A and B are shown apart, each in its own frame.
Chain A
Amino acid sequence: MTALALEGEGEDWHLHLSGDWSLAALAQIEAQLEVLPGTLRGTLVCDWSRAEAPGIGSVWALLWRLASFDARHLDIRHSGNPPHFLELLQELKAERHAARALPQDAPSVEREVGKLGRWVVLQGIEARAVLDFFGRIVTVIGEAFPRPRALRVSSLARHIYETGITAIPIVSLIAFLISVIVAYLGAQQLSKFGADIFVVDLVTISVLREMGVLLTAIIVAGRSGSAFAAEIGVMQLNEETDALRAMGINPIEVLVVPRVLALIIVLPLLTVIADAMGLAGGGLLTLLKLHIPLSQFTYRLREALAPTTFWAGLIKAPVFAMLIAMVGTYRGMQVRESARELGRLTTVAVVQSIFFVILADALFAVLFVQIRF
């Protein structure tokens, strides 16, 4: 199907437009527009008499194509009942053509250096904002001593329930399974040396010192860190935080501090549960796989443990909790403008809090070795 046909020679040209000129036919029309010659001179008359149902988009595309001819040498006219909006489109096109001055890009080296500079400055601003955020939280907690009402006990209780009580099943299950895996692999290796009994040492020390608290922290970061960011983020989008500020209520006090405190309270407790479940898993596996009776397991357990082993794990929990809660709430408070930001920052919250937890764990490991804890 032909949408247009160019006829004529020399200085006298006719463009016959025919067939379907609606938006649906734009793909074909575009293909035929492209084969028009690059330059024309004289007069060009567009004959609309056989074009059916011309659509704005198609006519617009034609006008752009015609605009590529040099207007000084070609006089374009329309005949044969052109569409009623043709004049409107011609006006709009003239307007846009004038406005279409492409901005020049800066040279690429300059642009790259500029990018680096902007990145550094942004990091600096971000670091200051984090410090500022931390300071506000500490200030609120400090003010809460003479004024305990500032601690928002009911909201604290809600967060303890949501981040703690409801996390018990999943934390228990994962701690149990992981310690079974460690004990199983350990048993396979150690039985080669006839050192089966040291599976107990392996399980208890690794669970109590590292895995109990680390796994709990990672699960909580995934569950609650993301929830903190998303909840506060949605409140930001709804201007709820602005409303709180406008009523003289500090959002840090009512939204952030209860979450941080709740997690600091909850994470050590969850860690104790994870430790217990981990030891239970280890005990069960040594009983079933290595046939070590439970009495011998508990005896060996007491031998293996230094007085500090349990505390070396537990002491890390409040620090991890603070990192997770602060990253989550901080990212939530950063949400501005759009739903896209909310999704992005929630993801950032989870990834960063897990990263910080592992980083802090590494620092603790070095510290504990140095002070022989």
Chain B
Amino acid sequence: MSGPATPAVIRVQGLINRFGAQTVHDGLDLEVWPNEIFGIVGGSGTGKSVLLRTILGLRIPDAGTVELYGKDVRLLAAVDAKSLVRSYGVTFQNGALISSLNVAQNIQLPLREYYSVSETILDELAELNLALVGLPPDAATKFPAQLSGGMVKRAALARALSLEPKLLFLDEPTAGLDPISAAAFDELLLYLHSQLRLTVVMITHDLDTLFRTCSRVGVIVDGRMIIDTLDGMLKNTNPWIRDYFHGTRARAAEKVEHG
């Protein structure tokens, strides 16, 4: 595991996000190191997705700074938004595949936008990304509406990988999947993480995924983030964290991983 000596991929400092009178983030700090899988958890309405949107530069925070690879996201978003978005890949909660394009066209969409390569190469790249996420070749010509939930998540991941980012954001990648598909997705993530040397930031509610894949976890409590390893989280005395990691569901997930 990379220690604090190497520069952080993501550094968030003193982040404040407000919606009207409601303060969602109140001085949130976060650092993500290269080549780790970082899990973000928190109760409903604690602003996990808002944090993600802020890091991506899709939302301007009320205060605080967000840096990706040492560069201020707000500055990047204003000056060179295209190179900003090329530095990361994102999958959204419901896949967010463009419904009028088939899977291959969805994967090729960002490639067409940035590079002028031939149709043959585009087809090969689509096939590569499908192969990386473990989708069969005939998935290429299917439309998003014809895919199962697990395939949608994989296709969205393939699209996120198409620009070869080193940093991957996943918003609830296993939500709505059956346990077997979810477990398969966890394995896929670990495989890609090791093979492609990705840094992964993932929002998840799935304790199994958390225990299987994440090296560190950040919990949003009272607008701030508590960051620790999973073992550290299990010893934490904060009531919400204790409830979260020691509920009946958590104990079952823990047993599988450690027992």
> Does A99 count as interface, using CB distance less than 8 angstroms?
yes
Closest chain B residue to A93 by CB distance? B131
Q: Interface digits, B146-163 against A, CB 8 Å rule (1 contact, 0 not)? A: 100000000000000001
Complex partner residue of A57 from B100, B125, B143, B144, CB under 8 angstroms: B125
Q: Are B145 and A338 in contact (CB under 8 A)?
A: yes
Bound together, the chains give a CA A55 to CA B145 distance in angstroms of 31
In the complex the two chains form, is A23's CB within 8 Å of B118's CB?
Answer: no
Interface residues in A331-349 (C-beta closer than 8 Å to B)? 336-341
Number of interface residues of B (CB under 8 A): 25
Residues of B within 8 A of A341 (CB): 145
A60 contacts chain B at the CB level, 8 A cutoff: yes
Flag whether B29 is at the interface (Cβ < 8 A): no
Say whether A338 contacts B137, CB under 8 Å: no
Q: Are A340 and B99 within 8 A (Cβ)?
A: yes
Task: Looking at the assembled complex, report how far the CB atom of A343 sits from the nearest CB atom of chain B, in whole angstroms.
Answer: 9
Q: Is the CB of A26 within 8 A of B128?
A: no
Interchain CB contact under 8 A, B99 and A338: yes
> Are A26 and B143 in contact (CB-based, < 8 A)?
no
Q: A55 to B128, Cβ gap below 8 A?
A: no
Cβ contact of B124, chosen from A60, A336, A340, cutoff 8 A: A60
> Closest residue of chain B to A22, judged by CB?
B164
Does B196 interact with chain A (Cβ within 8 Å)?
A: yes
Write out the residue numbers on chain A whose beta carbons fall within 8 Å of the beta carbon of B163: 23
Instruction: Tell me if A113 counts as interface (CB < 8 A to partner B).
Output: no
The interface residues of chain B, by DSSP majority, are classed as: helix
> Cβ of A337: which chain B residues have Cβ within 8 Å of it?
145-146
Digitize A93-135: 1 where CB-to-B-CB distance is under 8 Å, 0 elsewhere: 0011001100000000000000000000000000000000000
Give the CA-CA distance A129 to B115 in the complex, in Å.
Answer: 47
Known: A60-B128, A61-B121. Contact between A338 and B115, CB under 8 A? no
- Whether A30 and B100, one on each chain, are in contact in the complex, defined by CB atoms closer than 8 angstroms, is no
Question: Is B171 at the interface (CB under 8 A from chain A)?
Answer: no
The answer to whether B195 has its CB under 8 Å from any CB of chain A is: yes
6 A-B pairs closest in CB distance: A337-B145, A338-B99, A338-B145, A92-B131, A60-B128, A340-B100
Interface centre among A57, A85, A95, A338 (most CB of B within 10 A): A57
- Which residues of A38-86 have CB atoms within 8 Å of chain B's CB atoms? 55-57, 60-61, 64, 84-85
